Amino acid sequence: MRLRYAYIIKCTGVVKDPKTGEMTELRCTYDPETKSGSSQSKRKVKATIHWVSAAHAVEAEVSLYDHLFSKENPEDIPEGSDWLANINSKSLEGLMSCRVEPYLAGQRQGVGTNSKDWDTSVLTRILQRA
């Protein structure tokens, strides 16, 4: 995995809270020859992550969208049913209490388009991935 604008990193361990089981720390190593812009920085990685400072992050709701229909042809339905039988129940996933940068920029790369949706009725920051 690449840490954006930095190095390729490898997670070597996870520290969890013994009472809650919640992750509290990731232990990682980095390859010093892979700094962004160096000759080794062109190595293929599965993903690039963007570190977000916990001290400066803001809370947001994240909406993840998937295909609306579970079949390519929504009219391909079992006899006696209508098109609603092909609605994908996982077409929208809402993640609550996420931490994002104050400007909601570049949280995840290579996944889709992120857009801001300021829900003024409840003053909630919503980041959407389509």
User: What predicted TM-score, i.e. pTM, was given to this entire model?
Assistant: 0.50
How much is the pLDDT for 50? 80
State the Cα torsion 51-53-54-56 to the nearest 10°: -140
Whether residues 44 and 72 fall in one domain: no
Whether residues 62 and 106 fall in one domain: yes
Q: How many domains does the chain have?
A: 2
**More confident position, 3 or 20:** 20
Closest of 110, 109, 119 to residue 63, by C-alpha: 119
Q: What is the mean pLDDT of residues 95-121?
A: 58
Whether residues 20 and 2 fall in one domain: yes
State the Cα torsion 44-13-127-67 to the nearest 10°: 70
Tell me the CATH number at 118.
2.40.240.10
Residue 126 has pLDDT above 60, yes or no: no
Q: Which domain holds residue 38?
A: 1-49
Whether residues 21 and 62 fall in one domain: no
Residue 119 has pLDDT above 80, yes or no: no
Burial class (CB in 10 A: 0-12, 13-18, 19+), 60: buried
Whether residues 67 and 96 fall in one domain: yes
How much is the pLDDT for 127? 58
Whether residues 18 and 77 fall in one domain: no
Whether residues 60 and 108 fall in one domain: yes
Whether residues 41 and 66 fall in one domain: no
Average per-residue pLDDT for the chain: 79
